[in-house]
Structure 1
Amino acid sequence: MAVAGKPVWFGRVPVAAGLALALFLVPMGGAAADPRPTLAEAKRKLAKLNDQADKIVEKYNQAGEKWKKARKKYKALDGDLARQTAKVADLRKELIMMAVSSYQYGSVTGWEGLINQGDPGALLSSMAAADQMAAARARYLNAFDEATKTLRDNRNQAKAALSEADKTRDELAGEKAKVEKMVRAQTKLLNELGTYQQGDPNSTGMKYNGPASGNARTALAFAYAQIGKPYRFGGTGPGGWDCSGLVQASWRSGGVSLPRTTWEQWSWGASRRVPVSSLQPGDLVFSHGLGHVGIYVGGGKMVHAPQTGDVVKISPLRSGLVGAVRP
C-alpha cells in the first residue's frame, strides 16, 4: 500500500518514473523504427542501381550525340541559307539595275525603235544587241528564280533541322535529369557504406608493361595512365571518365577513331567481333545489355571506368559478357 504523499516503488525505481521512461523509449505511434538495411542488402541495392545507371548513362550519351549531330546539321544548313540569301540579294540588284537602265534609256527591243533605224547595218546591230540584252535578262531572271526557290528550300530545311535540334536538346535534358537522380541515390548508398571514392582528377595512373603491341599497346598505355581518376557520367576526360569515353579516348591515342557510346562502339565493331574465349589485350569487352565496356588487359582482367563513386581501375572481367571487339 502507498503511504499518503509518498511514491510507490517498483524494485528500486518509482512507478511514475518507470512509466515515464517506458513512454520515452517507445517510438511515437507505438511502432518500432524501420531497421537500417544490412550491409549485404545495401550492397545488393547498390549493384542493382549500378546496373541501371550503366544503361541510363549510355542513353544520356546517345541523346548527347544525337543533339550534337542535329546542331551540326542545323548550323550547316543555316550557313547555306546565309550564302543563298546573299546570292539572291546580288541577283536582285542586277535585275533592278537592268530595269532602271531600260527605263532611263528606253527599250531597244521595241519594234518602233528598230524600224526607225535608217541604216540597215545599224538596224542589224540593234537587233543583235536586243537579242543579247533579252538573253541576258532571261538568264538573270532564270537564275533569280532558281536561287529564290533554293532559298525557300534551304529555309525550310534549316527550320526543320532547328526543330529537330530543339527536340533532341529536350531529350538530352530529360536523360540528364534521370542520370542525376540515379547518381544521388548511388552516392547516398556509397556514403552509408563508407565506400565512396572521390578519385584524383590529376592522377598519373600506372605504367602498362603487358604483352600488347602496336596500337593496342598505345591504347592500353593511355588507359593505364588514367587509373585513379574518378568516374563521371558523360566524362570524356581528362579529369574524369565514363566507360565508353575512356575506351574512345584510349583507342584514339592508338590511331583508331571509335564512336562515342557503347551501343555505337558495338555496332561499329560488327565485322571485328571476336569470341570471349579468344580475347587479346586491347580488345573491347562489352557487358550484357551493352551498358558497359572496358579494355581487356590479359589474365581475365580489364581496365575500365566502373560507376559513380569509383575510379578508373583494373578489375576482373564481369560475368555475362555479350561479346568483344578487336579494333
Structure 2
Amino acid sequence: MRGRVPVATGLAAAVLLLPMTSAQADPKPTIAQAQAKLKTLNSKADKIVDDYNAANEKWKKARKKYDSVNDDYQKQYSQVDVLRQTVVSIAVNTYQTGDVSMLGGVFYGSDPESALSGMAALDQLSQGRAKQLAEYEAAIQGLKNKRDQQKAAYDEANQTKSDLAKKKADAEKLVKDQKALLKRLGAYNVGNTKSAGITYTGSASGNALTALQFAYKQVGKPYQYGATGPGSWDCSGLVQAAWRAAGVSLPRTTYEMWSWGANRRVSTSKLQPGDLLFHPGFGHVGIYAGGGKVVHAPQTGDVVKVVSLSAYGSLAGAVRP
C-alpha cells in the first residue's frame, strides 16, 4: 500500500501546476517606492532640462548669427551691384567701338567666384579707372567671403537644431515618466496659467524687491521645462524673468547663472532677499525671499510656489545679483 503524500508536498506540487496569476506578477511599487523613483527622476530632470535650455540658447544664437550674416550679405550684394554698374559704364565709355561682350560674365554674372576668375580681362581698361576697378574687385571678394560665412552660420544653426531635437526628445521621455508617477501618487498639479499669484510682503528692498514681487505674482502657474512665461515657467526661466523685471540681465541656464555669479557668490549663512539659491549639481535655482522662504518653479507636475528653506532642499551655493 502506497503511503500518503505529505500535505505540504502536495500543496507545493499543486502550486507548481497552477497557471501564473496576477498575484504572482511583479507587485506595483508602493507609494514610498514611487516617491523615491520620482525623486531620482526629478534629479535627472534638472540636468536634462538645463541641457535642453543650453541647446536652445545655442540654436537661437546660431540662428541670429545666420540672420545677421545673411542681412549683411544682401546689403553688400546691393552695393556690389552699384559698383558693377559703374564698371560697366567705364567699359562702355572706354570701348565705344569695341566688343565688350567678353566682359559680360564679369559685369553681369551673379556668382562672385565667376566674377573673380574674369577679373584679368579688366586689364584692357584704361589705367585711369584703376581705383574704381580695385573697389569693384574688393567688393566682389568681400561678397564671396560673406557668402562663405553665411553658409558656415547656416550649417552651424542646422547642426545645433539637430542637437536641440535630441535634447528635447530626452526631456519629453523623462517628463512622461514623471507625469505617470505623479498621477499614480495622486500628486499631479496642473496649475493655473492665468494665476494672479500672491503679494510679496517680505523685507526685500531695491531691485531685489522688484524681482520678488514679480516672482510672487507667478505663484500657482505650472512648471514646464523650457518655459519662460508668461503662463508657465521652468526654474531658471522664472529667475531670469524676475531679475529682468528688476533691470538685471541674467543668463538663461542655471549653470550659466552660477558661472555668471563667480564674483557675486555669498555664504548661505548670510543670505539676503533676492539671492539666487542653487541645488547641488547646479541644475536647479530659486530666489531667497527672506524669512527662511524661497520662491521657485520646482519640477514637472508642480507649480511655482513659496517654500521653507528646509523644504527647498540642500544648498550648493548662493549668488547675489
TMscore range, shorter length:
0.7 to 0.9
Q: Tell whether the 8 Å contact from 1:231 to 1:309 is kept in structure 2 after alignment.
A: yes
Separation in structure 2 between the aligned mates of residue 221 and residue 35 of structure 1, nearest angstrom: 47
**Gaps spanning 5+ residues in structure 1: where?**
1-21, 107-132
Separation in structure 1 between the aligned mates of residue 293 and residue 170 of structure 2, nearest angstrom: 31
Q: Tell whether the 8 Å contact from 2:204 to 2:290 is kept in structure 1 after alignment.
A: no
- 67 and 30 in structure 1: CA distance in 2 versus 1, 3 angstrom threshold: closer
User: Aligned pair 1:303/2:295, yes or no?
Assistant: yes
Q: From 233, 252, 257, give the equivalent of 1:260.
A: 252
User: Aligned pair 1:320/2:314, yes or no?
Assistant: yes
Q: From 134, 137, 141, give the equivalent of 1:145.
A: 137
- SS of the equivalent of 2:316 reads strand
User: Aligned pair 1:173/2:165, yes or no?
Assistant: yes
Separation in structure 1 between the aligned mates of residue 194 and residue 129 of structure 2, nearest angstrom: 68
Output aligned runs, 1:128-207, within 5 Å: 134=126, 137-207=129-199
Q: Tell whether the 8 Å contact from 2:94 to 2:126 is kept in structure 1 after alignment.
A: no
The residue type equivalent to 2:154 in the other structure is L
- Give the deviation of 1:105 after TM superposition: 6.5
**CA deviation vs aligned residue, 1:5-24 (integer Å, no higher than 9, x gap):** xxxxxxxxxxxxxxxxx99x
User: Aligned pair 1:269/2:267, yes or no?
Assistant: no
The residue type equivalent to 2:143 in the other structure is L
The corresponding residue for 2:68 is: 76
- 39 and 139 in structure 1: CA distance in 2 versus 1, 3 angstrom threshold: same
The corresponding residue for 1:35 is: 27
The residue type equivalent to 1:206 in the other structure is I
Q: Tell whether the 8 Å contact from 1:262 to 1:292 is kept in structure 2 after alignment.
A: yes
Separation in structure 1 between the aligned mates of residue 91 and residue 241 of structure 2, nearest angstrom: 61
- Give the deviation of 1:73 after TM superposition: 0.6
- 167 and 134 in structure 1: CA distance in 2 versus 1, 3 angstrom threshold: same
Separation in structure 2 between the aligned mates of residue 202 and residue 319 of structure 1, nearest angstrom: 28
The residue type equivalent to 2:194 in the other structure is N
Separation in structure 2 between the aligned mates of residue 275 and residue 184 of structure 1, nearest angstrom: 37
The corresponding residue for 1:88 is: 80
Q: Tell whether the 8 Å contact from 2:202 to 2:291 is kept in structure 1 after alignment.
A: no
**CA deviation vs aligned residue, 1:160-190 (integer Å, no higher than 9, x gap):** 1111000000011000000000000000000
The residue type equivalent to 1:287 in the other structure is H
Separation in structure 2 between the aligned mates of residue 309 and residue 264 of structure 1, nearest angstrom: 25
Output aligned runs, 1:91-130, within 5 Å: 91-104=83-96
**CA deviation vs aligned residue, 1:13-52 (integer Å, no higher than 9, x gap):** xxxxxxxxx99xx654798111110111000000000010
Separation in structure 1 between the aligned mates of residue 217 and residue 139 of structure 2, nearest angstrom: 55
**CA deviation vs aligned residue, 1:253-275 (integer Å, no higher than 9, x gap):** 11111111111111111111101
- SS of the equivalent of 2:318 reads strand
Output aligned runs, 1:51-66, within 5 Å: 51-66=43-58
The residue type equivalent to 2:317 in the other structure is G
The corresponding residue for 1:282 is: 274
- Give the deviation of 1:101 after TM superposition: 1.3
- 304 and 151 in structure 1: CA distance in 2 versus 1, 3 angstrom threshold: same
Separation in structure 1 between the aligned mates of residue 21 and residue 301 of structure 2, nearest angstrom: 38
| TM-score normalised to structure 1 length | 0.82
Separation in structure 1 between the aligned mates of residue 200 and residue 243 of structure 2, nearest angstrom: 15
**Gaps spanning 5+ residues in structure 2: where?**
1-13, 99-124
- 272 and 73 in structure 1: CA distance in 2 versus 1, 3 angstrom threshold: same
- SS of the equivalent of 1:255 reads coil
- Give the deviation of 1:87 after TM superposition: 1.6
Q: Tell whether the 8 Å contact from 1:258 to 1:265 is kept in structure 2 after alignment.
A: yes
Separation in structure 1 between the aligned mates of residue 227 and residue 261 of structure 2, nearest angstrom: 22
- Give the deviation of 1:320 after TM superposition: 3.1
- SS of the equivalent of 1:104 reads coil
The residue type equivalent to 1:279 in the other structure is L
**CA deviation vs aligned residue, 1:303-323 (integer Å, no higher than 9, x gap):** 000000000001233333221
- SS of the equivalent of 1:91 reads helix
Q: Tell whether the 8 Å contact from 1:27 to 1:33 is kept in structure 2 after alignment.
A: no
